[in-house]
Structure 1
Amino acid sequence: MNLSVPRRVTAAAALAALALAGLTGTSAAAGQAAAVTPPDIPLANVKQHLADLQSIANANGGNRAHGRTGYKASIDFVKAKLDAAGYTTTLQTFTSSGATGYNLIADWPGGDPNQVLMTGAHLDSVTAGPGINDNGSGSAAILETALAVSRAQLQPTKHLRFAWWGAEELGLIGSKYYVNNLPTTERSKISGYLNFDMIGSPNPGYFVYDDDPTLEQTFKDYFAGLGIPTEIETEGDGRSDHAPFKNVGIPVGGLFSGADYIKTAAQAQKWGGTSGQAFDRCYHASCDTTANINDTALDRNADAIAYAIWSLSTGTTPPAGTVFENTADVAVPDNGAAVTSSVDVTGITGNAPSTLKVGVDIVHTYIGDLVVDLVAPDGSVYNLSNRAGGSTDNINTTYTVNASSEVANGTWKLRVQDKASIDTGYINGFKLTFP
């Protein structure tokens, strides 16, 4: 890293997701359910990749830095594994500081070429050491995840692309070169870029990039399933390879376990480890070896990467104008308690839109008596009508609500209360339309 410039989805959950797409009830559906369940990334495999990168550094002057033989050997090592696993690999060259640099791009066959989910990590180290946490950890984790895609013969909805960047430590040179040389039409096809830079720090924290709400929530959901609190990543914000993507408008997200900043007492209390010490005391130093890795953090973050890739690339995205509706009548008592009509929203990725359409159909003889609210799954309340309309009969209209701070999936309620006497009515229908 350049600072100078539910643990798994269950098979039942996967089957439920397939039911939404009308795929259950056949043996083929059961096979697909297994395929879309995010795997447990074997920690031993990730650590073996790190041991191999350490051996490469040992054989090449103690580092894997840009322009050094250790870096080219690292690229060749990763490329050979991906080629054998069925990826289409491309070696992109550039020049920096008078030396040839290399980016490795690996595409998994299939998926929508107009919706590319891209995952990347920088592969170079500084000259001072082998760079096993920075950033062998991210590089090894996405390598093993890519190999897991191959083992599963995953058939994602989106096209999957993985990248290992060169010369990050000199100022994001490799990733900038890739983005700057990518035609605008190709940039527009990248639906998201996930970056992993230092995910096995020995005194770890659990930091999530907050650049894109959907990508951020995906990682938060994973760690929430483990009961692990997260914090927003600010230590290296904009100083790793997601920055060039973000700068051209591509949604970005990622994970980070901390570098040379100091862990606070509050952070040690919730994550363990030692307060008053750096997350990684060997940051950019010769001691950044295989001994400089926290296995628990590496394991959790590697599994989180797989969770995100499977979730974001295989989920069925409902088409534009998807409607969730409840047409059951609900009586509204005269000058009585509030009543609700509910809809269960499923299959929507990320947060609700800023233009959520709320269809309200209330039969009532005096709508000036009524307070009408939309209640989000977390209990947040959005008032739609507060005793407006006087003696007019009935509310049959569509409201537009900025619900972008709410997670889309969950139970949404239309809440109606009659605040005065004499007139009565009922909820005739309630629907949410996602644009």
Structure 2
Amino acid sequence: MKRRFAVAGVLLAVVLGCGTLPAAAAGSAPVADTLAAPDVDVTKVTAHLNELSAIAGRNGGNRRSTGQGYRDSVAYVKGRLQAAGYTVTEQPCTSGCTSGAGPNLIAEWPRGDANNVIMFGAHLDSVSAGPGMNDNGSGSAALLENALTLAQQNPSMANRVRFAWWTDEEQGLNGSDFYVRSLASAERSRIKAYYNFDMVASTNGGYFINHITSSAAAPMKAYWDSLGLQPEENTEGAGRSDDYSFEQYGIPTSGYAMGASARKTSAQAAKWGGTAGSAYDPCYHRSCDTLTNINTTGLDRASDGIAHTVWQRAVLAGTGGCDTAGVVANGGFESGTTPWAGDTGSIGAHSGQAAHTGTRFAWLAGYGSTRTESISQSVTVPAGCSRATLDYWLHIDTDESGSTPYDRFTVKAGGTTLATLSNADAGSGYVQRSVDLTAYAGQTVTLTFTGSEDSSLQTGFVLDDVSLRSG
């Protein structure tokens, strides 16, 4: 994972890792509704780490993007993928990367709907100070063994799976940024979600998920929840890894994280074990980030959670299931205004209010005069949903008093009002609210959020993190 640079826009990314043994059972097991997802062999994941360590040892002790250690790492991963039947491409980074940086490595499994791509990535370079076994040999190795496991299992595919190993991440997310920038808009639109894995074996780590309440994160959270891990939102890694490159173009993102240089809290140590007050990874960006700096239990749990997500998003999707990830696009408003329509000036990082997550939100009404503002987008509720629920976080801020509903907030699907709230429902912070969209399964419908005020005393309706889930 790269160090924190000044990054424009919302901060959002992934730091992957794990803590010492928490109260949950040490072994990994698939959740009950995805028995088809395989148990990824962690000994094979560690074998890839051994190879990356040996490569660093032969090349000055590191695998930095501009060195032979990185190029040899690319050759190792590429060789294994080609032997397994992947379509593999080396993509030179011709702009924005550090001079002399090696290529991105892109591997696609040649089955499934090419118009619905689920993408998984990890950066393959290390810092110059050391071999980078946790940062980010762990993510790279877990991803490689998942790719090989998918090829070995060779299931029928509903969607296309694409894996990527990024160059020059440690210098500023340069490889992934180049990749996404280079795609034509039609190609970007085919990527329905991107999952990032950066540091998934931190020795004093925690269990973190990027955008934990989003639809994209749902299969990842479901797996770790099934192990009793009580994962938390990843905050330390915000804007610091390759998922940020995809987020800037409105592609839904998530991923696992276990932490870098931030310190474990007492509450986290009580929940996950480990040492409170110490860094999640005491060898972050140091020469001691070697094979002894790997939490095998966390690596195992992350590897199996990746497989669970691959199966949920690309193998089982479309087989009567309910794949809701990405159905509501840019539900956190972090990628500008697209595809929202209507009063999109309400979307932004406005002073006077705060986001639920990230930095941007939609602030409807709040003027203290007669005003109505609406935003909307068209969504298609998957046909396989036996139950579909629209979740959103709403903060109602008002100068009104009493229980009379002077100012109102409504949620509509097409012309049907599904929820109405008012100044009488105001509170001190965000509240998660939900409406049932099950009746619209298999249909495309326009969702509209509206805030309206009367002539005096403001009420602002601050909306964030809109998503669809099954259940």
Q: What TM-score, normalized by structure 1, do the two folds share?
A: 0.70
For 1:121, the aligned partner's letter is: A
Q: Which residue in 2 is equivalent to 1:427? A: none
1:352 aligns with 2:389: yes
1:195-206 matches, cutoff 5 A? 195-206=196-207
For 2:92, the aligned partner's letter is: T
Q: Which residue in 2 is equivalent to 1:78? A: 77
Q: Which residue in 2 is equivalent to 1:280? A: 281
Q: Note if contact 1:201-1:259 (Cα within 8 Å) is conserved in structure 2.
A: yes
C-alpha change, 1:40 and 1:142, in structure 2 (3 Å) is same
For 2:171, the aligned partner's letter is: L
SS at match of 2:215: helix
SS at match of 1:84: helix
C-alpha change, 1:288 and 1:247, in structure 2 (3 Å) is same
Q: Which residue in 1 is equivalent to 2:272? A: 271
% identity of equivalent residues = 44
C-alpha change, 1:149 and 1:70, in structure 2 (3 Å) is same
For 1:40, the aligned partner's letter is: D
Q: Which residue in 2 is equivalent to 1:297? A: 298
C-alpha change, 1:382 and 1:265, in structure 2 (3 Å) is same
Q: Note if contact 2:200-2:298 (Cα within 8 Å) is conserved in structure 1.
A: yes
Q: Distance in 2 between the 1:310 and 1:257 partners? A: 22
SS at match of 1:146: helix
For 1:352, the aligned partner's letter is: T
Q: Distance in 2 between the 1:242 and 1:106 partners? A: 17
1:60 aligns with 2:82: no
Q: Distance in 2 between the 1:67 and 1:155 partners? A: 39
Q: Which residue in 1 is equivalent to 2:400? A: none
Q: Which residue in 2 is equivalent to 1:19? A: none
| Deviations, residues 123-166 of structure 1 (Å, cap 9, x unaligned) | 00000000000000000001000000001012220101000000
C-alpha change, 1:213 and 1:358, in structure 2 (3 Å) is farther
| Deviations, residues 324-383 of structure 1 (Å, cap 9, x unaligned) | xxxxxxxxxxxxxxxxxxxxx9943996247668999xxxxxxxxxxxxxxxxxx98869
For 1:297, the aligned partner's letter is: G
C-alpha change, 1:225 and 1:358, in structure 2 (3 Å) is farther
For 2:36, the aligned partner's letter is: T
Q: Distance in 1 between the 2:47 and 2:71 partners? A: 19
1:244-255 matches, cutoff 5 A? 244-255=245-256
Q: Which residue in 2 is equivalent to 1:208? A: 209
Q: Which residue in 1 is equivalent to 2:138? A: 137
1:41 aligns with 2:103: no
RMSD: 3.1
Q: Which residue in 2 is equivalent to 1:408? A: 470
Q: Which residue in 2 is equivalent to 1:165? A: 166
C-alpha change, 1:82 and 1:319, in structure 2 (3 Å) is closer
Q: Note if contact 2:104-2:166 (Cα within 8 Å) is conserved in structure 1.
A: yes
More moved, 299-308 vs 36-45: 36-45
| Deviations, residues 75-132 of structure 1 (Å, cap 9, x unaligned) | 0000000000000000001243321421000010111010000000000000000000
Shift of residue 214, structure 1, vs aligned partner: 1.1
Shift of residue 183, structure 1, vs aligned partner: 0.6
Q: Note if contact 1:64-1:127 (Cα within 8 Å) is conserved in structure 2.
A: yes
Shift of residue 204, structure 1, vs aligned partner: 1.4
1:351-430 matches, cutoff 5 A? 352-353=389-390, 407-409=469-471
Q: Distance in 1 between the 2:145 and 2:125 partners? A: 18
Q: Note if contact 1:168-1:241 (Cα within 8 Å) is conserved in structure 2.
A: yes
Q: Which residue in 2 is equivalent to 1:88? A: 87
1:8 aligns with 2:33: no
Q: Note if contact 1:358-1:401 (Cα within 8 Å) is conserved in structure 2.
A: no
| Deviations, residues 62-87 of structure 1 (Å, cap 9, x unaligned) | 00001101000000000000000000
C-alpha change, 1:176 and 1:207, in structure 2 (3 Å) is same
Q: Note if contact 2:159-2:317 (Cα within 8 Å) is conserved in structure 1.
A: no
Q: Distance in 2 between the 1:357 and 1:173 partners? A: 42
Q: Note if contact 2:63-2:128 (Cα within 8 Å) is conserved in structure 1.
A: yes
Q: Which residue in 2 is equivalent to 1:363? A: none
Q: Distance in 2 between the 1:175 and 1:141 partners? A: 18
Q: Distance in 2 between the 1:60 and 1:173 partners? A: 22
C-alpha change, 1:244 and 1:58, in structure 2 (3 Å) is same
C-alpha change, 1:356 and 1:404, in structure 2 (3 Å) is farther
Q: Note if contact 1:94-1:177 (Cα within 8 Å) is conserved in structure 2.
A: yes
| Deviations, residues 20-63 of structure 1 (Å, cap 9, x unaligned) | xxxxxxxxxxxxxxxx8111111100000001100000000000
Shift of residue 315, structure 1, vs aligned partner: 2.7
Q: Distance in 1 between the 2:271 and 2:127 partners? A: 31
Rg (Cα) greater in structure? 1
SS at match of 2:130: coil
Q: Distance in 2 between the 1:271 and 1:319 partners? A: 33
Q: Note if contact 1:211-1:252 (Cα within 8 Å) is conserved in structure 2.
A: no
Q: What TM-score, normalized by structure 2, do the two folds share?
A: 0.65
Shift of residue 201, structure 1, vs aligned partner: 0.3
C-alpha change, 1:211 and 1:183, in structure 2 (3 Å) is farther
Shift of residue 215, structure 1, vs aligned partner: 1.6
| Deviations, residues 168-194 of structure 1 (Å, cap 9, x unaligned) | 000011001101101111000000000
C-alpha change, 1:127 and 1:404, in structure 2 (3 Å) is closer
Q: Note if contact 2:390-2:434 (Cα within 8 Å) is conserved in structure 1.
A: no
C-alpha change, 1:405 and 1:80, in structure 2 (3 Å) is closer
Larger RCO of the pair (alpha carbons < 8 Å, separation 6+): 2
Q: Distance in 1 between the 2:221 and 2:309 partners? A: 10
Q: Distance in 2 between the 1:231 and 1:184 partners? A: 33
1:141-160 matches, cutoff 5 A? 141-160=142-161
Q: Distance in 2 between the 1:351 and 1:200 partners? A: 35
